[in-house]
Amino acid sequence: MKNYIHQLFSGLLLGLHSFMMFSCEKEQDRPNVILIITDDQGYGDIAAHGNKVVSTPNIDQLFQESTRLSNFHVSPTCAPSRAGIMTGKYPNRVGVWHTVMGRSILYEQEKTMANVFRDNGYATGLFGKWHLGDNYPYSPQFRGFQEVLTHGAGGVGQTPDYWNNDYFDDVYLRNGKEEEVNGYCTDVWFKEALSFIEKNKDNKQPFFCYISTNAPHGPLNVPMEYAQPYLENGVAKDRAKFYGMITNIDDNLGALRNQLEDWKIADNTILIYMTDNGTAYGAAFKGSELKNGFNANMRGKKGSAYDGGHRVPFYIHWKDGKIDTGRDIDALTAHIDILPTLIGLCNLEQTTINFDGDDLSEAIKGKEEIKDRILIGDSQRLEYPEKWRNSYTMTKEWRLINGKELYNIKQDPSQSNDIAAEHSGMVKRLRKAYETNWEDQKKSFSQFPYIKLGTKQEAISVLTAHDWHVSEEQRIPWNHQMIRKGTKGNGEWRVDFTKASRYKISLRRWPIESDLALNESAERLETQAKDYILQKGKIFNFKKAFLKVGDQVWEEEVVEGSKEVTFSVDVPKGENVMSAYFETAEGNIQGAYYTYVEEAKLTAK
């Protein structure tokens, strides 16, 4: 009997050991995923696509070794594109149809790509741009990313970003905490990504690594050794810097791939390279005509409903998955397909997301064809979406622009010949598809992403002008230069006071790290970036400060020399509308560009 029990116990141990070894091997066999997305690089800003000026040898090599989705579309601007990528859903459905104004914040209930990978046992990391919310619960460390190094808002030097960041030796946020870094921004993102990859390689844990460069988005700051060769070849200064930023990205891509090879993990790593919208500086147009630059024979650029605004490169390489030879798929595809496709390629589990996009994994493996379908896109840039505004309705061959203009993209890739009158049936078909899509999505348009205040996850919440909701057309002060200039405006934030409590709410003209007084000027500042000078700041001469929560308004005098005006107010629990603003000696109203909110610490009597 004892011998039997011993044999049984030994067998169980052996079985458990075998299961654990099998599970470990299976975990190691799961492909790693690296998703690289650059900012404002268009389809034409790659040598492999016919550009004779820009130097992109490593991107070109990846082009040769990848399956390319050659009819691939994103949104015409960055935050909506990222929302589509992260959720597999149309950006308007998930609350992201602008890059500012509180409409670049991804609705809280949405599950992200990082959530899916994390829930399937992957390590998840983001290095670079997020642009889907800067506060709890919207910032990336609360959206499934376990390791984060990022800048504020949609780019380095934007209003929520650390004051005076200029792409060189900046202060970024590591998992929500400020940290000084050394080096040029793009180099930093790739270096940090490699550290994350190395750690997880050593731990034998599959990883999802999202490298999201802010370059080549402006300001066009780049080490001059990258811009100089273009300047010497007669390229205009802005484009020379823009191309220099792309070549720097290219160098980093090459170094990344070499390191993956050295670590012997390249073969089982899915590597994706793509961009977030059409070119910003690679081409210039006068009306519909290309004036200069290169745009791969497409009309329009960043922000446009024509193909030049949203058709972008998409390369996917995975040697172990036999996706490692140059092949084009010209079927209509889009950013909303990426997440369901990666779920298919990596055999991930998820049962809760109803995607707008399709799983293209079998087509990418060469096992099936992608059926033609109708996809919708637009660029709204308003508080509430407007029907047909800057919209495009697409099939593989047809484009309906703003519900009116019709182009056959196969016969007329530059979209120069509107043939709506000759093809009324196609116009009717595409309009009907748009109408159906609009009705399906519009229930999302009246929602708001409320910034939660008084939470343990974010003890002090920084609200900035970048996320003002405004009731009329006005310029949002979305970057540091506009803050220095004193761009006029005022708006309100949608906030959620998570508990009934006393809150300390401090209004500032300058961010706290500047250490400037309310009525003080920021000094003109020369930066490490050649020709990029931060202008001298405007003095407002504020006399009064106001805080408004719902219908209640508090008022305080501005004390000369003070850096902030602080209100200590009792606020009920719940969602509300809040605004903070100053009045000048001349009686003008100006919103507080920066407002700091925390639960007040009450002193016991």
Query: How many CB atoms sit inside 10 A of residue 570's CB?
Result: 10
Query: How many CB atoms sit inside 10 A of residue 330's CB?
Result: 14
- The answer for residues whose C-beta is within 8 angstroms of residue 459's C-beta and 6 or more apart is 598, 599
Site of tokens 């446009």: 304
Alpha-carbon gap, residue 498 to 390, rounded angstroms: 37
Q: What is the pLDDT of residues 539-550, one digit of tens each?
A: 999 999 999 999
Q: What is the pLDDT of residues 335-370, one digit of tens each?
A: 999 999 999 999 999 888 999 999 999 999 999 999
Report which residue type is found at 537: G
Alpha-carbon gap, residue 364 to 362, rounded angstroms: 5
User: What's the whole-number average pLDDT of the chain?
Assistant: 95
Q: What is the pLDDT of residues 3-33, one digit of tens each?
A: 444 454 444 444 444 344 334 445 558 999 9
Q: Is 42 a residue whose pLDDT tops 70?
A: yes
Q: What is the pLDDT of residue 351?
A: 83
Q: What is the pLDDT of residue 602?
A: 61
Q: Is 596 a residue whose pLDDT tops 50?
A: yes
Q: What is the pLDDT of residue 471?
A: 78
Q: How would residue 104 be classed by pLDDT, with cut points 50, 70 and 90?
A: very high
Alpha-carbon gap, residue 503 to 151, rounded angstroms: 27
Q: What is the pLDDT of residues 406-465, one digit of tens each?
A: 999 999 999 999 999 999 999 999 999 999 999 999 999 999 999 999 999 999 999 999
Query: How many CB atoms sit inside 10 A of residue 11's CB?
Result: 10
What HEC string does 409-468 produce? CCCCCCCCCCCCCCCHHHHHHHHHHHHHHHHHHHHHCCCCCCEEECCCCCCEEEEEHHHC
Cβ–Cβ under 8 Å, residues 105 and 94: no
Report which residue type is found at 496: D
CATH number, span 451-599: 2.60.120
Report which residue type is found at 277: N
Q: What is the pLDDT of residue 217?
A: 99
Q: Is 210 a residue whose pLDDT tops 70?
A: yes
Q: Is 233 a residue whose pLDDT tops 80?
A: yes
Q: What is the pLDDT of residue 28?
A: 53
Alpha-carbon gap, residue 348 to 31, rounded angstroms: 11
Q: Is 142 a residue whose pLDDT tops 60?
A: yes
Q: What is the pLDDT of residue 147?
A: 99
Sign of CA dihedral 384, 389, 390, 394: positive
Residues in the chain: 605
Q: What is the pLDDT of residues 64-94, one digit of tens each?
A: 999 999 999 999 999 999 999 999 999 999 9
Listed by start position, the domains of the chain span: 31-280+288-378, 451-599
Provide mean pLDDT across the span 252-259: 99
Please state the CATH superfamily assignment of the domain spanning residues 31-280+288-378 in this structure: Alkaline Phosphatase, subunit A (3.40.720.10)
Which long-range contacts link 410-418 to residues 24+ away (Cβ below 8 Å)? 413/297, 413/298, 413/307, 414/297, 414/298, 414/299, 415/288, 415/298, 415/299, 415/300, 415/306, 415/307, 416/288, 416/299
